[in-house]
Amino acid sequence: MLYDLIDHDLIDVVNHNSDAWEDAVKTTTSYLEKKGYVTANYAEAIIQSTYDNGPYYVLCPGIAMPHARPEAGVLKTGLGIHIFPTAIEFGSDLGPANILLTLAATDPDTHIEVIQALSEMLVDEENIARLTAATSKNEVLDIIKAY
């Protein structure tokens, strides 16, 4: 279950707006860094990758999955879920996102289980709407409990 696979300390409803996407990436990766999932340079690796390759991680309107290559500072596989009060513009044709699913994967295969469970939850537009409107970590946890 997604609820059991995700470290609950990596889930939060961010109480401040982020005017720049770079700041949002730094905010979300700081949770991963504090818990030992990534090194301090992981945020910069995501930012540089975005400059080099564009916002490839915007999955659909409202949802982005910022990540970088394992060698960019991933220590262990983890996924952070962060809801921002307003959508952040990454420059994607898919539009801005206020749900950031920050991924740290040690290799291409280790995160498959989390991604599969996550995609089951995100195919339901009602879940996306509920996540977008979440105002507390407990609301986010309630949504993912079914997955």
Question: How many whole angstroms separate alpha carbon 50 and alpha carbon 56?
Answer: 7
Helices (H), 1-147: 2-5, 21-34, 42-53, 112-122, 125-133, 137-144
Of the candidates 79, 98, 78, the residue with the CA atom closest to the CA atom of residue 90 = 98
Residue in 8, 16, 67, 82 annotated catalytic = 67
> What sign does the dihedral 16-119-5-72 (CA atoms) show?
negative
Residue 8 annotated among the catalytic residues of the structure: no
The residues annotated with a catalytic role in the active site are: 67
